[in-house]
Structure 1
Amino acid sequence: MALSWITMWTRCLLFFGVLVVQDQVSGSSSSSMQSSSSAESCDTYFLVTVPAVLQAGTKTQFCAILYEPGEFVVMTVHLKSEDSSQTLLKKGTSNSFMKCFSFHVPLVEKCEIQLFEVKVEGPTVYSKEVKKVLIKTVKPQTFIQTDAAIYNPGQTVRFRAVTLNRDLKPVDEKFDFVLVKDPHNAIIGQWVNQQTRRNILEQCFQLSSGASEGYYRIVLKAGKERFYQSFKVQKFSLPKFDIKVTIPKEISIGQEHFEVEVCAKSRCGKPVTGSAVVTVCRPVQNRIHCSSVVTYEDHKHLQRTSLCTTKTKQLCRSGCATLKFEVSAFTGTDPEAFFDVLDVSATVRDKFTSKYL
Structure 2
Amino acid sequence: MGKDWLFGKPNIFLLFLFLLPGNTSPTTEPQYMVLLPFLIHTDAPEKVCVQLTHLNESVTLSATLEYQGENRSLIDDVVSEKDIFTCIPFSLPKSNSTSVAFLTVMVKGETQQFRSRKSVLVKNSESLVFVQTDKPIYKPGQTGTGNWVDVDSDSKKMSGLHSSEDSYFH
Relative to structure 1, is the Cα distance of residues 101 and 82 closer, same or farther in structure 2, using a 3 angstrom cutoff? same
Relative to structure 1, is the Cα distance of residues 60 and 152 closer, same or farther in structure 2, using a 3 angstrom cutoff? closer
1:119 aligned onto 2:119: no
Equivalent residue number for residue 38 of structure 2:
52
Deviations 1:170-206 (A, max 9, x none): 23xxxxxxxxxxxxxxxxxxxxxxxxxxx4362434x
Task: Please list every run of 5 or more consecutive structure 1 residues that lacks an aligned counterpart in the other structure.
Answer: 4-42, 172-198, 206-217, 220-228, 230-357
Distance 1:156 1:93 in 2: 66
Equivalent residue number for residue 136 of structure 2:
149
What is the CA-CA distance between 1:77 and the residue it aligns to? 1.0
- SS where residue 47 of structure 1 aligns? strand
What is the CA-CA distance between 1:108 and the residue it aligns to? 2.6
Equivalent residue number for residue 132 of structure 1:
119
What is the CA-CA distance between 1:106 and the residue it aligns to? 1.2
Equivalent residue number for residue 339 of structure 1:
none
Deviations 1:242-273 (A, max 9, x none): xxxxxxxxxxxxxxxxxxxxxxxxxxxxxxxx
Equivalent position amino acid for 1:54 in 2: I
TM-score, normalization: structure 2? 0.64
Instruction: Provide the alpha-carbon RMSD of the alignment.
Output: 2.9
Deviations 1:271-328 (A, max 9, x none): xxxxxxxxxxxxxxxxxxxxxxxxxxxxxxxxxxxxxxxxxxxxxxxxxxxxxxxxxx
- SS where residue 61 of structure 1 aligns? strand
Structure with greater Cα Rg: 1
Distance 1:126 1:157 in 2: 66
Distance 1:46 1:154 in 2: 65
Query: After the TM superposition, which segments of 4 or more aligned residues of structure 1 sit over 6 Å from their partners?
Result: none
Equivalent position amino acid for 1:108 in 2: K
What is the CA-CA distance between 1:152 and the residue it aligns to? 4.8
Equivalent residue number for residue 100 of structure 1:
86
Task: Please list every run of 5 or more consecutive structure 2 residues that lacks an aligned counterpart in the other structure.
Answer: 1-25
Relative to structure 1, is the Cα distance of residues 203 and 74 closer, same or farther in structure 2, using a 3 angstrom cutoff? same
What is the CA-CA distance between 1:78 and the residue it aligns to? 1.4
Query: Paired residues, what number?
Result: 142
Determine if contact 2:143/2:163 at 8 Å carries over to the other structure. Answer: no
* Alignment match of 1:84 (pick from 65, 70, 74): 70
Distance 2:60 2:155 in 1: 40
* Alignment match of 1:200 (pick from 146, 151, 160): 160
What is the CA-CA distance between 1:154 and the residue it aligns to? 5.0
Relative to structure 1, is the Cα distance of residues 168 and 69 closer, same or farther in structure 2, using a 3 angstrom cutoff? closer
TM-score, normalization: structure 1? 0.34
Structure with bigger helix share is 2
Equivalent position amino acid for 1:87 in 2: S
What is the CA-CA distance between 1:103 and the residue it aligns to? 0.5
Q: Relative CO higher for 1 or 2, CA cutoff 8 Å, sep ≥ 6?
A: 2
* Alignment match of 1:73 (pick from 59, 62, 84): 59
Equivalent position amino acid for 2:122 in 1: I
Provide the identity percentage: 22
- SS where residue 123 of structure 1 aligns? coil
Equivalent position amino acid for 2:27 in 1: A
Distance 2:151 2:106 in 1: 40
Distance 1:131 1:115 in 2: 6
1:2 aligned onto 2:27: yes
- SS where residue 150 of structure 1 aligns? coil
